Every structure is written in C-alpha cells, then in structure tokens.
C-alpha cells in the first residue's frame, strides 16, 4: 500500500483531542507519529465516565479514535535526560505538533522562537484555545468553551427563549484538528521543496469564527443575523427547518432558495392547492406580508400526518433536500456510512468488538488505512530510543531513574 506521508517523521507533544486529530490524520497517511506522553498519561485516557463508557485501558474507544496508528514514548521532560531524548527525536523530525499553552512552551524552551534557529526546516504546528495573541491568549480552552460558547454556536443556534443546545466532546476539536492538518501539509510541502520551515497555528476560537463566517458577515447589516437567537417559526426562510412527524421524529429540510423549491415542496406535502398562491410566493412577497410563520405552520401541520417511513419516498420523489434526524446508534448502523468505509470494527484483546469511526478523508490509490489501536503509555519507548542509538543499558538506567516510563500490562 503506497502511503503519501511515508518517511515523514512527526513528534506530537499534545494531549486531549484537537492537536491529536492532526497527528492521527498524518499517521493514517503513513507518517511515523511519535506521541510524547507524561507518566500519568494523557487526560483523554480517563474521560470514559463523561461519555458513558467503561473506564478500561484495554478497551478505550476514544483514545483509539484520536491516537490510532501512532507510537508512544513517555518522557519526563523536566529531567535533563528525558529532555535530551526529546531533542534527539526532534533532530530527526519533520513536524512538531503541540497544544501546550505558550507560556509553558516558553518555560521549557520549546516555543517556536527558541527552536527555529536550531531546526530551520521544521514545521512547527500549534493548536490553542483562543489564539496566540490578545488579552485571552493564556486562557484554558476546550471546545465547549472556546468553540461552542465564545464562537457563537450556543447563543445563536438555540431556539429563542430556551437554554443552549447540548454539546458533545470532540466535535469542535475534530474540526480544528483537520484545519491544523491542512496547514501542516502545506508547510511540509514548502519544507520539502524549498527547505524552509514554518510555524502553523490555529485555535478553537478562530476555527469557530470561520465556521460562522457567513452569519458573522451578515451581522454587518440590520436584518436576521442581528436578531439571533430566533424563534424558528419566525425565520426568514420557513423551508429551512426541522419538521415533527407523526411518529415523533424530525425531518430536516434545506432549501436556501425558497423560490426554486416552493411549488415542488408545497405539492409534495399535500398542499398543491397553494402552489399558485401569490401570498406565499415568491419569498419577498411572503416576507413583506409577514406570512412566513403561516407557511411554517402549514408545513408543520402537514408533516404531523405521516411517519418518517411514509415521508421519505415522497420527499425523494420530489427531489427535496432532506435528512432524518438520527441518533448515534442509528448513525453507527447507517448503511450509507458503511458503504463509504466510515467505520472500523475493532476486536479488543478482551474479546469485545466495538465499532470505531474512521477519519473522513479517503485516498483512492492508498486504499483504506490499517487501524492499529492507540498505544499504551510509553508502549514503544524503548523501541524508539533504540532507533535513536540508545543502548539497552542506557534505556534501563532511564527507566530506573524515571526519565523514561513504560506502563505495565497488569495481565502479564
């Protein structure tokens, strides 16, 4: 199997999800990604209780999602011997990925300014919560806070008069991690072609602003963007909504150009009598007369008369853009997702088989990448040090001293 990033060496000095996503993407493409982990382990290893999973080092689906196909060495970077080993890794690296806060990197002499002179061809990639500049640059950032809250999701996307929507871990992080990966690959191309390194930066906050770009820009004008959160019944386009069906499910439709779809949609829902109604069409007439809420109510009433199973063939026949609002169990068993290799069924050492999610970018010639579980804490540490020229005696000395750590398999 030919992999685009074979031969590329990546050092990942990061925890949790966003930066690790970029490393995972590169590992899937064949890069040799070495994750640096503290002896206690990345906090992501212990998030199972928040996700309703068993807290089990041998079956950790979240860890595997973010760290599959990587290798791990656990070094004490506060110890000179551990830090020396880290720099030996960096000597051979093409890319460094980190999400440490800038002040912590500076204290350790691992910030970009400290490294670029010694490593002029290095791609230095950093992911932060709020960006590297400004009054809040040093704040801790998770996607719940820097992405969803500060970035506009929670206040804008709720129904007016209600509490913000529930959010889930990883959603913002994965978005940011893939943005970081895109920047890394551009900088890596430059480093290989021109011999020039680069610093690549993105953040949860900046990525969220970009995602919200259309409506942030629309807020320049007095109109709907300045009125969010809205009551969906009073939205500017009544066809961009979720409709409750007879069996208490929701079907989301999306018709950005109301005029193009009006006659087909209104007929499909059984209201062909309104197809030539001058009050409801075109959209500017409907808006000027304050009738968008009336159209919304007509559609909602119609959807309540049929089940999801009844609506699907009707909407498909009319070529209406729609999707049923699925839960996670339904997604995990979605035949369309299966057909596009969205999943990998991992058999764990305890005998359990769990369905894991693959990254969403596919390559025709490379084929579907292998899926190795994420490493245990420091699992490949001795192996990695031997590759750097360390002797068995030196490795044993580092283990005894605590500058190197390898998690012990309790089953052995």
Active site residues: 173
In the three-class reduction of DSSP (H, G, I as helix; E, B as strand; rest coil), residue 353 is classed as strand
E strands present in 348-398: 353-357
Indicate the DSSP class of residue 132: S
86/97 Cα distance (integer angstroms): 13
412/107 Cα distance (integer angstroms): 39
CB 219 within 8 A of CB 226: yes
Q: Number of helices (H) and strands (E) in the chain: give both, helices first.
A: 18, 12
E strands present in 107-223: 123-128, 198-203
- CB atoms < 10 A from the CB of 404, how many? 27
CB 45 within 8 A of CB 57: yes
Which stretches within 108-203 are classed as H helix? 112-115, 153-156, 171-194
Token pair recorded at residue 240: 């961009």
Token pair recorded at residue 299: 């559609």
| Torsion of Cα atoms, 173 then 178 then 184 then 190, to 10° | -160
410: exposed, middle or buried (Cβ count in 10 Å: 0-12, 13-18, 19+):
exposed
Q: Residue written as tokens 């209104």?
A: 266
CB 165 within 8 A of CB 226: no
Q: Residue written as tokens 């994965």?
A: 174
In the three-class reduction of DSSP (H, G, I as helix; E, B as strand; rest coil), residue 391 is classed as coil
69/369 Cα distance (integer angstroms): 9
């Amino acid at each position: 199997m030919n992999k685009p990033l074979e031969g590329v060496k990546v050092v990942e000095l990061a925890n949790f999800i966003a930066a690790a996503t970029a490393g995972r993407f590169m590992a899937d493409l064949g890069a040799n990604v070495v994750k640096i982990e503290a002896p206690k382990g990345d906090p992501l290893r212990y998030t199972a209780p928040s996700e309703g999973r068993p807290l089990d080092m041998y079956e950790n689906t979240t860890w595997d999602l973010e760290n599959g196909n990587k290798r791990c060495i656990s070094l004490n970077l506060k110890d000179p011997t551990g830090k020396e080993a880290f720099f030996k890794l960096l000597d051979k690296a093409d890319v460094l990925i980190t999400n440490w806060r800038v002040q912590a990197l500076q204290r350790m002499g691992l910030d970009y300014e400290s490294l670029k002179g010694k490593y002029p061809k290095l791609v230095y990639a950093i992911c932060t919560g709020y960006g590297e500049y400004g009054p809040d640059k040093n704040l801790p950032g998770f996607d719940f806070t820097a992405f969803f809250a500060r970035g506009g999701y929670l206040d804008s996307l709720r129904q007016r008069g209600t509490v913000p929507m529930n959010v889930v871990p990883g959603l913002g992080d994965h978005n940011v991690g893939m943005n970081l990966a895109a920047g890394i690959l551009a900088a890596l191309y430059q480093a290989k072609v021109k011999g020039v390194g680069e610093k690549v930066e993105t953040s949860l906050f900046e990525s969220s602003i970009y995602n919200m770009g259309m409506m942030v820009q629309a807020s320049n004008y007095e109109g709907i963007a300045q009125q969010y959160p809205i009551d969906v019944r009073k939205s500017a386009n009544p066809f961009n909504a979720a409709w409750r069906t007879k069996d208490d499910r929701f079907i989301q439709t999306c018709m950005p150009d109301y005029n193009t779809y009006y006659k087909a949609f209104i007929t499909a829902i059984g209201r062909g009598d309104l197809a030539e109604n001058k009050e409801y069409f075109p959209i500017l007439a409907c808006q000027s007369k304050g009738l968008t809420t009336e159209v919304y109510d007509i559609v909602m009433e119609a959807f309540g008369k049929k089940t999801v199973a009844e609506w699907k063939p009707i909407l498909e026949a009319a070529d209406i853009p729609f999707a049923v609002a699925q839960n996670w169990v339904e997604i995990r068993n979605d035949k369309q997702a299966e057909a596009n290799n969205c999943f990998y069924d991992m058999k764990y050492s305890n005998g359990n088989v769990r369905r894991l999610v693959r990254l969403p970018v596919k390559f025709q010639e490379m084929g579907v990448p292998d899926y190795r579980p994420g490493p245990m804490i420091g699992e490949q540490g001795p192996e990695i040090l031997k590759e750097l020229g360390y002797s068995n005696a030196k490795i044993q000395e580092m283990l005894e001293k605590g500058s190197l750590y390898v998690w012990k398999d309790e089953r052995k």
